[in-house]
Structure 1
Amino acid sequence: MNSETRVKSPSIYSIPADEHFLDVLTQGIMDRYFDEKDPFGLAQILVLLPTRRSCRALQDAFLRHTDGRSILLPRMVPIGDIDEDQLQIDTLATDIFSEENNVLPAVNDMQRRLMLSQLIQQQAQKTTDNILEDKNFPTDRAIRLAFELSSLLDQVQNERLGFENLAKLVPDDYASHWQITLQFLNILTEEWPKRLVKEKAIDPAHRRNMLIQARAKKWQNHPPKSPIIAAGSTGSIPATADLLSIVAKLPKGSVVLPGLDREISPDMWSLLEASHPQFGFRQLLLHLDFEPTKVKDWIETSSSESYQKERVKLVSAALRPAITTSNWSKIKNIKSSALTGLTRIDCVDADEEAGVIALIMRNILTEGNTNSNAALVTPDRELARRVASALTRWDLKVDDSGGVPLANTPEGTYFRLIIKLIFQEAAPLPFLSALKHPLAAGGLAPAIFRKHIRDLEIALLRGPRRKPSLVALANYSKQWANTNPELSDAADALQNLVQYAEPFIKVLSKPNQNVSKIIYEHIQFAENIAKTDVLSGPERLWSSNSGESLANFIIDFIESSEILGNINPAHYPLLIDALMHGYTVRPKYGGHPRLAILSPLEARLQHYNTIILGGLNEGTWPSPPSADPWMSRPMRANFGLPQPERKIGLSAHDFSQAMGAETVYLTRAERVNGSPSVAARWLTRVEFAAKSIGLNTQELEKKGKKWLEWQRGLNLALPKEKSLSLDSEKRPPRPKPPVEARPRRLSVTDIEQWMRDPYSIYARHILKLTPLKPIDEEPNRADFGSLIHATLEKFLSRHPSGSLPPNSYEELISTGKEVFSPIIEMPAVWAFWWPRFERIAGWIVKTELLNRKNIKRIFTEIKGSHIIRNLPHANFEIVAKADRIEQLNDGTLKIIDYKTGSIPNDKEITAGFSPQLPLEAVIAINGGFHDLPSAKVSKLEFWKITGGQAEGEIHSIGSNEASYFETEKIGEKAQNGLIELITAFDNPETPYESRPRVDFAPAYSDYEHLARIKEWSIISLDSKDQQ
């Protein structure tokens, strides 16, 4: 028997959702056409499939069917029947359709965007309506609109509509901005066709339609003698539907539909709405003039389990038209086995959901046989990335086949960060983001380069921002290296970066520059920063899959750059971001052999034993219709474009197809981005339908809880029997380091901290933990105080004695500008701090003029120390740097502390919790300050200089007429209190507690998080409440 006599009559077939589509398709082809005596028989068959991925999957199905035996396979061709919003249109350059040599080539996507953006800018200039405030459209904004306009153009051409009726689309009573939109849409009717003629090209969707239409017409006029099978297509694109119609009528043609629902009654077919999973088939079969009941099964026998068939029935019932859901309770033909192999898992958040999914996929490799496999199917790319990351816990590398936006790949991110480094003048965050990127090396070994960047970060980039620019930063680093030799190598590396950047900066300095020159210098700069001591920049930047995609993007951009010509360089960063939008990088090579992460589109027709449907929340699956900037919903309907519900119907079909797998997990997160979520409508309807039919849905959640327990158990630090009790975990820390490790030298400010919060002394001086300032920190109150201290020190060091000059106020203001110069251009500093300083300067000068007659000499920022001896363990040294000490004419000293914030009250000083000035008095009395002989101290004062309503205030410790006798008593009391404190902490059993006296606790501590104050303070409050 030869293959020709075995061919059945042309007809339309279906493969149910509970079967593996491509495996069953393969079996049917082998049953119909394979003949051992005719090895070339299969090669004569043409199989039309929706995508290239499905063609590769069909090849794998033939390998499985033949157990790897070599045979000549049918010719497999993609027809591009895909959702244009999710994948780029397949231009079909290598398949049979492109044999039509009279069809013009498709316009390059980059060229199309740039040309449309130009037309948009030109149209903006022509628009006369005042509603368009800015008629000078920036190039990047025009490119983003061009992307949306390209999408609209593809949609219109997919539906084979024309733009002739655009003028009638917007009645006069529509809002005026829609009238302007219509003016822009005229680009597609008037200017765009002219540009295409000039370029001798056509739109990709139009070209595909022409190719398919030409081939369909040729087959209709000259039917092929060999079999043609169109399989897996839903005919969502009119040109494809026409092709299927022709194939179905060919003498040896067959159309095989994926998952036609046999449970839908003839009466119900007419009720299907666009959001129903079978709506597409309804439209296709109407187009083919074919009754759904006449569609046959592709093969007679079934390989799926009976429970899969029951589950498919359940899903069909659940998704039936809303007006018929009242009949759920009357359904009797669905058995309880419909819930076999089905599990629902409601997770707390997206992190837990990703962990559970990863655990399920890992379990497949452990408990399944070698033929078992699993796929996560989700439209949520963020969830896909989380799962891919969670799988690395077991050293499993599973790529997200949905792809990664080019801008988010390592190479794409690096390429964009390098731009920001230059355009934001080496501001701390862009500087560190670019140069800490794994691809940055600056000609050195990557580890050494990163160390240099970290050194520069700590030395120069933390705290308030310095004067911006890469050159200025390099100069700061050289100055710093002069006093810190360990930074010299980092300064040299930064100087090299400046040399690499100079050509790029030079090109960008012109107000109008050719875009090709900018991109060239951008590439050179990126390659120079990427090179190491071993590898060149191009080797590191372009050799990976995503690097190759970035290179192709840049090549397209360079080849199309003449369209833009000259641009304002300031627009270049946003221009690159806008052009990268829509470019996706997908894994080039095969991923894990048994695990996959797929989008619903990519999962179509694929073979997996276990399917995990993730992200089943409203707003994710199905995703809400995207806003169309060009046409409103009524306008789209009037124009003839499909309504958004059509996409929901396609998504519903993907969901129902996936539900036919052997094992299915349904997962969702109860909270997304911190907000409560709503379960996907299909998940809810399946559950409600199952309950109405009388099925036990509690078992679904019970199985799900098992996976949640396992996932949460993975993250426990210790087994339950070894874990600490809740109370002991949340007690305040009480470290007791050995006495030898405890500090024997502290500043007077540290001693105050020791009194108020011993734990901070433990962290700083025993653990040696020093807090880092935030990167690019906004100047705070402490910085303001430091600037005031530095300004007064500089001013008073020029006038330590005698009367002040007549222009002393102007001189103090000039000194302030000099000290404030690194940050004075910051808006907050200039608007708030500088006016305060001006008021402070006036008060200081006025106070100096009043007091100078009693002052012999002023010492500022003077260092001193004093050793306390005869202690039980060892001597103890106290050190200080006094803001100001006045040597008075009577030989006594006045010690002054500047305060730009609050000052301690008498209670705190008397109780010994603010011993700074009293201890400085002890140092002074004992002659501990440099260049200042021992003398009696007659005054201790706080100068509160805030620049507020009261520019400055003087607060004395003790009585206003205090004598040196009173001051010595205050100092002696402070020293005795310190000796008691030292003696107590020389006992090895004395712990460094955190805030032992809450009423005297410091307002702020750098070590609060280490002391876990928020944890144990709540426990303490609760226990007090219970008492």
Structure 2
Amino acid sequence: MRDAPKVFSIPAGAPFLDVLADAFLTGRLAPLPEPRDDPLALANATILLPTRRAVRALRERLVERLGADAAILPDIRPIGDASEEDHLLDPSAETVADRLALPPAIGRLPRQLALTQLTLAWGRAIRGDSSLLDIHEGEQLLIPASAADAARLAGDLARLMDDVETATDAGAGRDPWTEIQKLAPEDHAGYFQITLDFLKIAFEAWPKYLSDNGVVDPAVRRDHLIRAEAARLERMAARGPVIAAGSTGSIPATAELLKTIAHLPNGAVVLPALDRDLDADGFAAIGGVDTPARAFGHPQFGLKQLIAALGITREDVVPLGAVPEALALRARLATEALRPAETTDAWAMFRAAGPDIRAVDDALADAGLIVAHNEQEEAVAIAIAIREAVEQPDARVALVTPDRTLARRVAAELGRWGLAIDDSAGARLDLLPEGIFARLVGEALVADTDPAALLAVLKHPSAVFGMGRAECRKAARILELAVFRGRRGDCGLAGLAEALAAAREEAGGGAAR
């Protein structure tokens, strides 16, 4: 018989990794071998976190708390990144046959190029179909007119395919693509028929391409590996504690893994910020597994689905960590503000029995609202707030935003004051000097007769072409003065040598010097 699930939750406002590290080291999540100060006591434990950044941060927290000269830390791995398959499975429990049970995942670039080719072929077929020659101008927008259009559509299609694969429950027995084909009956507008025909690339042409090339989509392999890990943990008794923390189980395969870990004799699941302040009626109104369309946008929707899948109720979740009174009140205000519309009548009771206005003011004392007229003003305001905050001793500041453009604007503004930031999303390659140089080289090759494109490459700091940097700069200036200055040469890259020789002859050899 499986053990009762052991599920914990760290409330919003509490330092998640700090609380997790303390609960783990004190044995509250799962029993640890004695003595606790043995450097080898934690070696057999496994902790699964959503991201690689969380893995690095938890290692730092554990090292700080152990304070030993040397210790073997638990096996801490990410489960939210499909590229981390080598760290997901336990190498000691996996055979070569297990690794080869599923073909390798197709790379991101080959996938994009292959989908672009399929999209181009589909566009040519659609334009040659006489039954669709009378399509309206708006319906033609979906049909790629160039390779660039095909690449854009292929990128959108790839994201849709990943979303469908991620949200599909393998045990449900329903094919999402079959359901999609029912969305556009034949009596609907031609645009819907063209859209449905375009989606055939995903559920007809793409599976054939994958089969012919012996590869699978990254999301498919990720889900396969996660389910294989869940099956392994259920089949084999783990050598030490197994703890999964921070995941909401939004991927069905991950939810299966969390359910398996929660029922292990030495397993535990730690949820992030499960709302325990919302009353029962409000929590019930969020919706559940059987009504996924209801209140889908509520931030607690995913957690409610997960605890239902784990076979427990909200009352069965054990709270961990303490929150300062001001932060607890702020979280309660957020709970009431996000209450489902069906239960907003409870606002009157909260106001009547809730905290006085002074407590609310204290809870929101350091919270602010900025109304910006444009993106630049928004970035400047955020940068100023960050600069003021870091002036405090031992200050730690984080900007959390899904808007990458805003993040880059803020980083640029902070750079004016010499403040460097650690961007967890990394830097775009096309904005780095190396990426800019590669892009300029590509543009010069495409724009064969454009002097500006060629000179942009030659004058880039990374361009040396086997020469010294100063020598290369001198050669670029000679080429500009002799061949391009005052004229727009149409000789192309292949004719540069002849054009330079003609310029040398015209100048009487002066250009060569």
Highest CA radius of gyration, 1 or 2? 1
* Alignment pair present for 1:147 and 2:155: yes
> Does the Cα contact within 8 Å between 1:78 and 1:92 map onto a contact in 2?
no
Partner of 1:296: 318
- Residue 305 of structure 2 is matched in structure 1 by 283
Moved more, 285-294 or 234-243: 285-294
**Mapped pair 1:195 → 2:195:** no
Structure 2 residue aligned with 1:341, among 341, 361, 366? 366
Cα offsets for 1:748-781 (capped at 9, x unmatched): xxxxxxxxxxxxxxxxxxxxxxxxxxxxxxxxxx
CA deviations on 1:844-892 (whole Å, 9 max, x unpaired) are xxxxxxxxxxxxxxxxxxxxxxxxxxxxxxxxxxxxxxxxxxxxxxxxx
AA partner of residue 117 (structure 2): Q
Specify which of 381, 385, 392 is matched with residue 415 of structure 2.
392
Match of 2:167 in 1: 159
Alignment gaps of 5+ in structure 2: 169-173, 287-294
Is 1:103 aligned to 2:128, yes or no? no
CA distance in 1 between counterparts of 2:201 and 2:373 reads 49
Alpha-carbon shift at residue 361 of structure 1 (Å): 3.8
1:124 Cα offset (Å): 4.0
Q: Distance in 1 between matches of 2:505 and 2:381?
A: 51
1:120 matched residue in structure 2: 119
- The structural deviation recorded for 1:9 is 6.7
Supply the distance in 1 between the matched residues of 2:502 and 2:331 (Cα, whole angstroms).
Answer: 72
Deviation (angstroms), 1:328: 4.3
Residue 25 (structure 1) aligns with: 20
In the alignment, what sits opposite 1:917? none
Assess if the C-alpha contact under 8 Å between 1:9 and 1:252 holds in 2.
no
Q: Which structure shows the bigger proportion of residues in strand conformation?
A: 1
Q: What is the CA-CA distance between 1:240 and the residue it aligns to? A: 0.9
C-alpha contact (below 8 Å) 1:91/1:204 kept by paired residues: no
Closer, same or farther: CA 352–165 of 1 in aligned 2, 3 Å: closer
Equivalent positions of 1:991-1006 (< 5 A) are none
TM-score with structure 1 setting the length? 0.42
- Structure 1 residue aligned with 2:292: none
Deviation at 1:315, TM superposition (A): 2.0
Query: For each residue in 1:345-393, what CA deviation from the matched residue of structure 2 results, as whole angstroms up to 9, or x when unmatched?
Result: 4456544544444444444554313xx3222222222232233233333
Q: In structure 1, how many angstroms separate the alpha carbons of the residues matched to 2:232 and 2:217?
A: 22
Secondary structure of the residue aligned to 2:402 is coil
Residues 923-955 of structure 1, C-alpha deviation per residue, up to 9 Å, x if partnerless? Answer: xxxxxxxxxxxxxxxxxxxxxxxxxxxxxxxxx
Structure 1 residue 327, shift from structure 2 partner:
5.0
TM-aligned CA deviation for residue 266 of structure 1: 0.8
Q: 1:13 aligns with which of 8, 18, 35?
A: 8
- Structure 1: segments with no counterpart, 5+ residues: 1-7, 83-88, 493-1027
DSSP 3-state at the match of 1:47: strand
Instruction: Mark the CA change 1:386 to 1:184 in structure 2 (over 3 Å): closer, same or farther.
Output: closer
Letter aligned with residue 18 of structure 2: D
State the match for 2:326 in structure 1. 307
For 2:254 and 2:412, the matched residues in 1 are separated by 39
Q: TM-score, normalised by structure 2?
A: 0.79
Structure 1 counterpart of 2:41: 41
SS at match of 2:8: strand
In the TM superposition, what are the counterparts of 1:559-958 in structure 2 within 5 Å? none
Question: Residue 253 in 1 paired to residue 261 in 2?
Answer: no
Aligned-pair distance for 1:194? 3.1
SS at match of 1:177: helix
Question: What's 1:408 paired with?
Answer: 431
- Residues 111 and 21 (structure 1 numbering): CA distance in 2 closer, same or farther, change over 3 Å? same
* Contact kept in structure 2, 1:77 and 1:96, CA below 8 Å: no
Q: For 1:29, give the aligned amino acid.
A: F
Checking the alignment, whether the CA contact within 8 Å between 1:11 and 1:254 is kept in structure 2 is yes
2:393 equivalent in structure 1: 368
Identity value in percent: 37
The 1:136/1:10 distance shift into structure 2, 3 A limit, reads: closer
Contact kept? 1:113, 1:146, Cα under 8 Å: yes
Structure 1 position 25, deviation (Å) = 0.4
Residues 314, 338 of structure 1: 8 Å contact kept:
no
Post-superposition shift, 1:67? 4.0
Query: Against the structure 1 CA distance between its residues 31 and 10, is the aligned structure 2 distance closer, same or farther, given a 3 Å change threshold?
Result: farther
**How far is 1:79 from its partner?**
1.5
Task: Identify the structure with bigger relative contact order (alpha carbons < 8 Å, sequence gap 6+).
Answer: 2
CA offset at residue 216 of structure 1?
1.8
Deviation for aligned residue 1:238: 0.9
**Alpha-carbon offset, residue 296 of structure 1:** 1.2
Within the alignment, does 1:319 sit opposite 2:335 as a pair? no
Question: Residue 171 of structure 2 corresponds to which residue in structure 1?
Answer: none
Listed one character per residue, the Cα deviations across residues 285-304 of structure 1 (whole Å, up to 9, x for unaligned) are: 222232213311134xx2x4
Query: Residues 9 and 176 (structure 1 numbering): CA distance in 2 closer, same or farther, change over 3 Å?
Result: closer
Query: Offset at 1:456?
Result: 6.9
Counterpart in the other structure of 2:291: none
How does 1:480-495 map onto structure 2 within 5 Å? 488=511
After superposition, the Cα gap between the structure-2 partners of 1:122 and 1:257, relative to the gap in structure 1 and judged at 3 Å, is same
Matched AA of 1:277: P
**How far apart in 1 are the matches of 2:498 and 2:308?**
72
Task: Specify the code of the residue in structure 1 equivalent to 2:164.
Answer: V
- Secondary structure of the residue that 2:215 maps to in structure 1? coil
Q: Which whole-Å CA distance do the structure 1 matches of 2:148 and 2:416 have between them?
A: 40
For residues 294-349 of structure 1, the C-alpha deviation after alignment (integer angstroms, 9 at most, x for no partner) is 311134xx2x4322222222222222234555654643434232113324444565
Q: 1:426 to 1:188 in 2, by over 3 A?
A: closer
**Which residue number in structure 1 is paired with residue 223 of structure 2?**
209
2:86 match: secondary structure: coil
Corresponding pairs, count: 469
Q: Cα distance, 1:472 vs. partner?
A: 6.9
* CA displacement at 1:267 relative to structure 2: 0.3
| AA aligned opposite 1:339 | L
User: How far 1:274 moved relative to its partner?
Assistant: 1.6
The answer to whether residue 447 in structure 2 is matched with residue 439 in structure 1 is no
How far apart in 2 are the matches of 1:75 and 1:136? 48
Distance 1:360 1:48, change over 3 A: same
Deviations 1:659-682 (CA, angstroms, capped at 9, x unpaired): xxxxxxxxxxxxxxxxxxxxxxxx
The structure-2 alpha-carbon separation of the partners of 1:355 and 1:452, relative to structure 1 and needing over 3 Å to count, comes to farther
SS of the residue 1:377 aligns to: coil
Deviation track 1:428-476 (CA, whole Å, cap 9, x = no partner) reads 542443333332345555456557656876898677x634345479848
Shift in alpha-carbon separation, 1:420–1:120, aligned structure 2, 3 A: closer
**Secondary structure of 2:416's partner?**
helix
Residues 158/445 of structure 1: CA separation in 2 closer, same or farther (3 Å cut): same
Q: Structure 1 residue 261: deviation in Å?
A: 1.2
Residue by residue over 1:805-863, the C-alpha shift from the partner in whole angstroms, topping out at 9 and shown as x without a partner, is xxxxxxxxxxxxxxxxxxxxxxxxxxxxxxxxxxxxxxxxxxxxxxxxxxxxxxxxxxx
CA contact (8 A) 1:231 1:256 kept: yes
Residue identity opposite 2:160 in structure 1: L
1-structure distance, mates of 2:254, 2:490: 58
AA partner of residue 338 (structure 2): L
Provide the C-alpha distance between the structure 2 equivalents of 1:361 and 1:424, rounded to a whole number of angstroms: 43
Relative to structure 1, the CA distance from residue 185 to residue 343 in structure 2 (aligned partners, 3 Å threshold; closer, same or farther) is closer
CA distance in 2, matches of 1:295, 1:135: 51
Equivalent residue, structure 2, for 1:75 = 75
Question: Aligned letter for 2:393?
Answer: G
134-143 vs 360-369, greater mean Cα deviation:
134-143
Residues 1:455 and 1:324: Cα distance change in structure 2 (over 3 Å) = farther
Partner in structure 2 of residue 383 of structure 1: 406
1:90 corresponds in structure 2 to 83
Whether the aligned pair in 1 keeps the contact of 2:449 and 2:489 (CA below 8 Å) is: no
Kindly tell me: are residues 483 and 64 of structure 1, through their superposed partners in 2, closer, same or farther at Cα, counting changes over 3 Å? same
Contact preservation (8 Å) 1:421, 1:431: yes
Residues 107 and 475 of structure 1: CA distance in aligned 2, closer, same or farther (over 3 Å): closer
Give the residue type in structure 2 aligned to 1:92.
E
Amino acid at match of 2:154: A
